[in-house]
């Protein structure tokens, strides 16, 4: 679904799509965006979902707790690091159980400007390879990273450009970022 400004929510019956593997709910251009404000409470029942794109869902306020039951999810795009202003700019936080997304490999949170911190369980994403937490010519609201951030041993790419509010890096992050030096992007 693309550029559906009038669609503010999906029906609970949407979660009956048990075989769904890829879902793209995104805008397509400068003036195109999704009006989606929330996902169904039962969204986590889409157990076979592997790829989810919510780019340009500027009105999305939160993710339901059941979202963390998407244990097959490998790619989650809440933003688009290749295009300006395509993030979930109204999203305030990630669910506390976010670390239960054990298959997650690629997470793009570009322009999720209102997210100020990541839940501690984030560090349980043992398969996470690519993490983009950048802004686009605008400051990200991220103030801190979880203390156990250095335990993301599978991480190969980390993008923190425009995270000007980020005050410090956690103590254990150095062993993680040294091998990343060729794929680490930090805007100072």
Confidence of residue 163 (pLDDT cuts 50, 70, 90): confident
Question: Residue 3 in contact with residue 32, Cβ under 8 Å?
Answer: yes
The confidence score (pLDDT) of residue 6 equals 62
**Mean per-residue pLDDT for 6-35?**
80
Q: Which pLDDT score is estimated for 7?
A: 74
Report CA torsion sign: 122, 123, 126, 129. positive
Nearest to 132 by CA among 81, 178, 75, 187: 81
Q: Is the pLDDT of residue 178 over 90?
A: no
In three-state secondary structure terms, 22 is strand
Token pair for 9: 């929510």
Q: pTM of whole model > 0.85?
A: yes
Query: What's residue 57's pLDDT?
Result: 83
Distance of alpha carbon 172 from alpha carbon 162, whole angstroms = 22
Of the pLDDT bands very low, low, confident and very high (cuts 50, 70, 90), residue 161 is: confident
The domain made up of 1-188 has a fold known as 3.80.10
d(CA 119, CA 78): 16
Number of C-beta neighbours around residue 141 at 10 A: 18
Identify the CA nearest to 173 among candidates 154, 159, 156, 152.
152
pLDDT tens per residue across span 98-132: 999 999 999 999 989 999 999 999 999 999 999 99
Residue 181: its pLDDT value, please? 56
Q: What is the pLDDT of residue 3?
A: 47
């Amino acid at each position: 679904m693309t550029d559906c400004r009038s669609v503010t929510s999906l029906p609970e019956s949407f979660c009956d799509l048990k075989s769904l593997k890829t879902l793209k709910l995104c805008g397509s251009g400068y003036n195109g965006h999704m009006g989606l404000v929330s996902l169904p409470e039962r969204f986590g029942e889409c157990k076979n979902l592997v790829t989810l794109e919510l780019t340009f869902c500027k009105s999305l306020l939160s993710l339901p707790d059941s979202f963390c039951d998407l244990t097959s999810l490998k790619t989650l795009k809440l933003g688009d690091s290749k295009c300006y202003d395509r993030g979930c700019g109204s999203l305030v936080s990630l669910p506390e159980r976010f670390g239960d997304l054990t298959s997650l490999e690629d997470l793009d949170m570009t322009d999720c400007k209102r997210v100020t911190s990541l839940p501690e369980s984030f560090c349980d994403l043992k398969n996470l390879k690519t993490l983009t937490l950048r802004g686009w010519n605008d400051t990200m609201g991220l103030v801190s990273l979880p203390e156990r951030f250095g335990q993301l041993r599978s991480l190969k790419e980390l993008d923190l450009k425009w995270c000007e509010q980020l005050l410090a890096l956690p103590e254990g992050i150095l062993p993680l970022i040294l091998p990343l030096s060729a794929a680490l992007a930090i805007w100072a």
